[in-house]
Chains A and B, each alone.
Chain A
Amino acid sequence: MSKPSLQLPRRQFFKTALGASAAISIPYFVPSSALGLGNAVAASDRITVGGIGIGRRGSYDLGCFFEQPDVQFIAVCDIKQSQRDAVKGRTDKHYGNTACDTYRDFRELLDRDDIDSVLIATGPNWHCEAAVYAARAGKDIYCEKPCTKNIAQSLILADTMRRTGRIFQAGTQRRNLPHFAFACELAYSGRLGQLRKVHAKPAGMATYMSGWLEPQAEPDREVIDYDTYLGPAAYRPFNNKILDGFNFEKGGGLTGGGILEWGSHCVDLCQWAASADSTAPTKYSAPRDGVLTATYADGVELVIRDNGWMPLGSCPVRFEGDDGWIETGDSGKFVLSSPELLAGREIAEIGGYPATFHVREFLDCVKSRRQPKANAEAACYTHIACHAANIAAFLKRDLEFDPVKNEFLNDDEANRFRSEALRAPWQI
């Protein structure tokens, strides 16, 4: 056999809902009332949603879905009975009925023909697999980040969404916040001049992946379904400490976590700014003096660093061109090299990175079938960039990457980091 084939077919595929020139999400041609933003929406026009793995982050997302009048959340699946019950309680209270169904096995939820879309907010261990299974069941998907654990998964995710004709929105909600969108627009539209550098701060995400700990008695499966919790991750005996879904198996045990945790946001914005939603940097340097630099084929540098940022909040990014620069962060504020760049634009200052607009865009796209900004291909290459950077950091050597063949050049070790076998019976 030859090495595993990880090549993603290259052809015109995704185009974001508003094209490359639009920065802020606006309603489509569909009248606002039909989108459910105005009056009550008829039940037949609502998008039915099921939730998979609705814990802390998922509960926040669920609130964003509840805000939309054209959504009917009808079912929840979780491996923890306590979370199933909590989400059902909240949902039933929201709708004033007892209709929310609960499932321990997400495949039963996916088997329902009356569910249009799913919200996936499991731990990172399950994100990609749950999304692929949902797509194969014909559901549209809003999936929390990080969406994949390695390069192969990233490609499979995009490939599956295309093959099944699904709408996929990665939970990288900063793409739908005005200040980040404006910053990216300045970069990709050429208003900063020839783009030279895009900077990302992947800070504050030291990851702790549980290993094979001392075995403990497994809880009753109805209370905590440990086998499903492990899911695609390699086997290890039950230990209560590894039930922290957020940190468990973030990177498939090979790479991931680290740059990926916040890079799936800030590197994602850099990818957008660099017009790189369908590609990834081709060169990755090992970290030097606290900076990891990756370079795109057109020479633009992706600078991943923790230090030297303006006080503009978490997840900052900075884009530099020959004619100017912009820096912004989660405060909703931004700093420009010249106020001229603002060009009379009024950019709403929305701090705190809410996901409401992102969810709204997802729902609009479910109806219009246009691709959302954080579509599967964009998410795919953002994650590939993060995974490749992590691999360069781990191997402590410079790497070259072919984003068409999706393989490292002349580096067998690096290439072996691209994938990891899934525990049976799971496969994608």
Chain B
Amino acid sequence: MNFSLKSVTSVSGFLFVFIALVFFGVESNRMFADDPSSKPSEESLIAILKSDAPKAEKAITCKKLAIWGSAACVDEIAKLLVDDELTSWARISLENIPDPAADEALVEALSKVEGRSLVGVINSLGVRKTKSAVAAIAERLQGDEEVAVASALALGKIGDAAAADALLKQASNVSSKKVSNAIAEGLNRISEQRFIAGELEPSISIAKSVLGMDVPKIRKIEATRCLILASKESGVPALIEQLQSKDRDFKNIGLAVARELQGDGVSALLVAAIDDLGEETSSLLILALADRGDASVLAEMKKIVRDGSPESRIAAMEVLKEVGGVDSLEVLLASATDTNSEVAVAATATIAQLSGQEIDQEIVSRLGVADSATQAVLISLIGKRRIDAVEPIVASASSENGEVRAAALTALGQIATEAELDLLVGRAIGSDKKFESDQALALESLKYVAVRLADPTVVVTKLDAAMQRVDEPAQVKILEILAAIGGEKALTVIGKAAISESKLLQDSATQLLGAWMTVDAGPVLLELAARPGYAFRVRSLRGYLRLVRQFLMPDPQRLAMCQKAFAVAERDEEKKLLLEVVQRYPSTGMLELARQIGEKNPQLKGDVDKVVKIMEEKQK
């Protein structure tokens, strides 16, 4: 018996299987059993189309010809366009075959098919942008509504001058609202194509035509967008008009275009319009300016941050976040101590994200001269930006001002070095009444420092010693910090706590061991799981099984761990978990273990049989 995990999970094997299934479907996959990517001969595929093969086979053949067909197969495929069941398959081929023969076949089919099949042919001509089909398609703008709609949209995709003329000619002649809508959509496509090509006047002209039509609002919105974009800076008044609209949809397209519009001085013109808009819209426009990323508006944005409404101030901070520098610090710091907490939080977050070392220097230099509220902000920014300024922060950690002290302790979590560990440990477990309220913050900061240090064992040693001097809830906090640090020494301390007399510590330690991120915790958990009378045996065993189930390790090691788990498992629940692992990692040894579990636990026979069967099937 020789299981190969590689054969079960290898990507290459997997890809081979799925592509075969996806490409040709479950039913048709048989035809490509040898190699789904091998190129079939076009002659053999044409022969299938000519034969009386079932439609299913002809359908799949069309898909193959979409990839491997040439002009040679077009005639046979075109014959299928009149077949209601195969026409969609035939179009899959014809849309993809580059040869002009495919265009000719589709144009020819315009007079041979009707109804939905005709709609499909017209759609394909649109996708292929077949210019030679424009006249024939244009003829169909009148008549059957569904065909006319398809024709209008296809002409929009083809988009040449003739297509545009045809659509414009019919724009005022059709009575059907659906067709009129489609004509407008086709024209909007062309207007955009002209704009992208730099043909601004034609783009504007077509957009204006659509705006004059009696069509749904969305078509006018599309046309308005093109009109403004193609007008460049001259389009700003029209853009402002949209922003002032009482119709939300037009206002929304104004906001979209405010982000897209290019042209000289556009940003400045938009800034000038801010005061003419309502409170909500002006703030939304400022956000659009943030997305434009244009530094020329910086001065105006700083004014708004200083003097604007809370909403516009926060919006303007988004602009500063994008393009602001050290010049923005003054106004942002003032906002960071604002009585409006949303403004203050946003200002601090904005400063934290400004880029540039000169900002770091400015923050530190202001620390000594700032009032206490600003000091707290500056200290928090030193932490958030991880500025190398430990000395003043250590000093602030003993400030009489609680807000400053708290900010300093939090910042130390982000910038402290080994030298500041004693301060944090002392504050975390010390008995000085003056700093009693600092304990939780200091512990939290200690955790951050510990995980950042190159040699975390220093912290572990200090915390291990501190364990002896604090009460049980604080010991639990320390254990959590140790778990966050990880490593052999931390594991030893937590293992020790797991067998202490304290139920609280046992509980905490076993939970932390159960979530350990390396297999090193295995022996500790196993020992606990085997400990007679221990309250957390089940949890420990489950933690052990988690390691076996989830972690990468050599097959022999996994098997050995499973065998050890089996030796200590007492309850059926854990034995079933073990069986899950066994099934997940099939091997000869695992199969043998499954059988052993079955032999010694007849009550699990059903579960074992199922696992064995699955494993044996995998082997096949």
Check B218–A424 contact: CB distance below 8 A.
Answer: no
Q: Does B124 contact A (CB under 8 A)?
A: yes
From A22, A29, A137, A250, B283 is in contact (CB under 8 Å) with A29
Give B32 Cβ to nearest chain A Cβ, in Å. 11
Residue A416 contacts which of B26, B89, B96, B132 (CB distance < 8 angstroms)? B96
- Give 11 pairs: A residue, B residue, CB < 8 Å, sorted on A: A1-B102, A28-B287, A207-B22, A211-B27, A235-B84, A235-B89, A236-B56, A253-B92, A255-B22, A369-B255, A425-B119
Question: Do A427 and B123 form a contact, CB below 8 Å, given A288-B12, A310-B552?
Answer: yes
Are B37's CB and A370's CB within 8 A?
Answer: no
When distances are taken between beta carbons in the complex, the residues of chain A under 8 Å from B286 are 29
| Also in contact, A211 and B119, with CB within 8 A (given A15-B259, A253-B63) | no
A residues adjacent to B (C-beta < 8 A): 1-5, 9, 11-13, 15, 19, 21-22, 26, 28-32, 136-138, 163-165, 205-213, 234-237, 250-251, 253-259, 287-292, 304-308, 310-311, 333, 335, 339-340, 342-344, 368-371, 390, 393-396, 412-413, 416-417, 419-425, 427
Residues of A within 8 A of B550 (CB): 311
Between B88, B120, B286, B311, the greatest number of chain A beta carbons within 10 A of the residue's beta carbon is seen for B88
Contact of B11 with A235 in the complex, beta carbons under 8 Å: no
A29–B85 CB distance below 8 A: no
Bound-state CA distance A424–B90 (Å) is 12
Determine the chain A residues whose CB is within 8 A of the CB of B84 once the complex forms: 235
Given the known interface contacts A29-B314, A427-B126, the answer about A393 and B19 at a Cβ–Cβ threshold of 8 Å is: yes
Whole-angstrom distance from the CB of B107 to the nearest CB of chain A? 10
A421–B221 touching, CB < 8 Å: no
Chain B 278-297 interface 0/1 with A at a Cβ cutoff of 8 Å (1 = within): 00100110111011010000
In angstroms, Cα B14 to Cα A404, docked, is 31
Is B360 part of the binding interface, using a Cβ–Cβ cutoff of 8 Å? Answer: no
Asked whether, in the complex, the Cβ of B128 is within 8 Å of the Cβ of A136, the reply is no
CB distance from A286 to the nearest CB of B (A): 9
A247 to B196, CA, bound (A): 38
Asked if B329 is at the interface (CB within 8 A of a chain A CB), the reply is no
Secondary structure at the B interface, as helix, strand, loop or mixed, is helix
The binding surface of chain A is classed by DSSP as: loop
A256–B21 Cα gap in the complex (Å)?
11
When distances are taken between beta carbons in the complex, the residues of chain B under 8 Å from A288 are: 12
Further pairs besides A5-B129, A26-B349, A29-B315: 11, Cβ < 8 Å: A29-B283, A136-B185, A165-B225, A209-B26, A212-B27, A234-B59, A257-B22, A308-B552, A340-B452, A371-B291, A421-B123
The B1-33 residues at the A interface (CB cut-off 8 A) are 6, 9-12, 14-15, 17-19, 21-29
Name the residue of chain A whose CB is nearest to the CB of B116.
Answer: A424
B18 touches A369 (CB 8 A): no
**A13 to B196 Cα, complex, angstroms:** 13
Residue ID in chain A nearest B445 by CB atoms: A344
Most buried by A among B19, B92, B257: B19
Contact B517 A335 (CB under 8 A): yes
The smallest C-beta distance from B201 to any residue of chain A, in angstroms, reads 19
Bound-state Cα–Cα, A29 to B91, Å: 50
A422 contacts across to B, CB distance below 8 A = 123
* In the assembled complex, B222 has its CB within 8 A of some CB on chain A: yes
- Return the chain A residue nearest B106 by Cβ: A1
* A421 and B18 form a contact (CB under 8 A): no
* 1/0 contact string of B456-467 vs chain A (CB within 8 Å): 100000000000
Distance (whole angstroms) from the CB of A220 to the closest CB of chain B: 21
CB-based contact B291/A370 at 8 Å:
yes
Query: A335-B517, A344-B383 are contacts. A2–B22 as well, Cβ < 8 Å?
Result: no
B contacts with A, residue count (CB < 8 A): 119
- Min Cβ gap B99→A in Å is 8
Closest B residue by C-beta to A391: B19
Verify if B66 is at the interface (C-beta below 8 Å from A): yes
In the complex, whether B544 has a CB less than 8 A from a CB of chain A is no
Verify A31–B26 contact, CB threshold 8 A: no
State whether A368 touches B284 (Cβ < 8 A).
yes
Residue in contact with B252 in the complex, picked from A165, A250, A289, A340, CB distance below 8 Å: A165
Contact in complex: A3, B312 (CB < 8 Å) = no
Interface residues of B (CB under 8 A from A): 6, 9-12, 14-15, 17-19, 21-29, 36-37, 39, 55-56, 59-60, 63, 66-68, 84-89, 91-92, 94-96, 98, 100, 102-103, 116-117, 119-120, 123-124, 126-132, 146, 150, 153-154, 185, 188-189, 192, 196, 216-218, 221-222, 225, 249, 252-253, 255-257, 259-260, 262, 280, 283-284, 286-288, 290-291, 293, 310-315, 318, 321-322, 342, 346, 349, 353, 383-384, 386, 413-415, 448, 451-453, 456, 517, 550-552
CB distance from A252 to the nearest CB of B (A): 9
| A311-B22 CB under 8 A given contacts A164-B218, A290-B10, A424-B123 | no
Given A209-B26, A258-B19, A342 contacting B451 (CB threshold 8 A): yes
Taking a contact as CB atoms closer than 8 A, the residue among A3, A164, A207 that contacts B18 in the complex is A207
Contact, CB under 8 Å: B23 / A394: yes
Q: Which of A11, A136, A371 has the most chain B CB within a 10 Å cutoff?
A: A136
Say whether, besides A255-B23, A427-B126, A344 and B448 are in contact (CB < 8 Å).
yes
Contact B12 A421 (CB under 8 A): no
Whether the Cβ atoms of A211 and B221 lie closer than 8 Å is: no
Q: How far apart sit A253 and B96, CA to CA, in the bound complex (Å)? A: 14
Task: Name the CB-closest residue of B to A423.
Answer: B88
- If A163-B188, A165-B252 touch, whether A396 touches B37 (CB-CB below 8 Å) is yes
B-chain residues with CB within 8 Å of residue A9 when the two chains form the complex = 196
Contact, CB under 8 Å: B386 / A287: no
Q: Quick one: closest A residue to B444, CB to CB?
A: A346
User: Which of B63, B311, B452, B517 is the one whose CB lies under 8 Å from A29?
Assistant: B311
6 residue pairs, one from A and one from B, having the closest CB atoms = A211-B25, A344-B414, A211-B27, A424-B120, A311-B550, A212-B56
Minimum Cβ distance to chain B for residue A314 (Å):
12
Instruction: Decide yes or no: A342 and B37 within 8 Å by CB, A209-B22, A210-B26 being known contacts.
Output: no
Cα-based distance from A396 to B35 in the complex (angstroms):
10
Minimum distance in angstroms from A97 CB to a CB of chain B: 24
Residues on B with beta carbons closer than 8 Å to the beta carbon of A333: 517
CB of A369 within 8 A of CB of B284, answer yes
Chain A residue contacts of B150, Cβ below 8 A = 424-425, 427
Which residues of A have CB within 8 Å of B280? 30
Contact B24 A307, beta carbon cutoff 8 Å: no
**Are A290 and B11 in contact, with the CB atoms below 8 A?**
yes
Say whether, besides A165-B253, A207-B21, A393 and B15 are in contact (CB < 8 Å). yes
CA distance A344 to B584 in the complex (A): 38
